[in-house]
Structure 1
Amino acid sequence: MSALSELYGEIALCQQCEIAKYRIKVVPGEGAENADILFIGEAPGWHEDQQGRPFVGPAGLYLDELLASINLKREQVYIANVIKCRPQGNRDPLPSEIHNCRKWLERQIELICPRMIVTLA
């Protein structure tokens, strides 16, 4: 089992925030574990919460188009979010939620060791 897979297991057990009570699936991230480029979004949306995968809704279609325009595929990059659970009503994450998830994102960055980090808004 890879270090990222082990981290996913830890994330799935996290109950530090109220939003963990309402999530359907945790959304840790996905992609190449040795990716040169890491894309980071803010938080999972409804579609992501249903599937447990980042950027699978309308924003994901746009991201796929963006990647294709620079001759990249999802399998070549890594995609994650700042927080790993969907905030109710798709609201912006609270500072406390960002703080609680920060360790997960920092660990992902350590393990993937990307050459470039692209933040998405």
Structure 2
Amino acid sequence: MKRIVIISVVCAALVGFVALPVLFAADAPKQDIVMKSPGAATQGPVTLSHAKHAKQKCEECHHKLKENPKDMKCGTCHNDLKAKKGDKSYYAAFHAPTSNHSCMGCHKSMKQGPTACNKCHAKKS
């Protein structure tokens, strides 16, 4: 009898572990998002595919999600359009090579995904 209870609890935990991220990911946009720099950009816009990032947890990029779930725009906190480094830097939010919250940092640490400018940014028109 104890064996059945233990197996049931383990199965329920595994189902919860697999199903919960899928339930939360259901709110992620299905379409691609085109991100344009709010400042004077030297590169063109970036198209982000949420579908290609579906295995990631939202919090991996949107690291302030728990504090402010209604505002997931990076520019809310990263609003310094001139600085290339620092917590407030809009540029660093996407390009910091050692931050797993930035696109480039995550791609480098996972050793997959683009890290060259022209592989993310469209040609500036």
TM range (shorter): under 0.3
User: Which of the two has greater strand per residue?
Assistant: 1
TM-score normalized with structure 2 length: 0.26
TM-score normalized with structure 1 length: 0.27
The higher-RCO structure (CA 8 Å, 6+ apart) is: 1
Larger radius of gyration: 2
User: Which of the two has greater helix per residue?
Assistant: 1
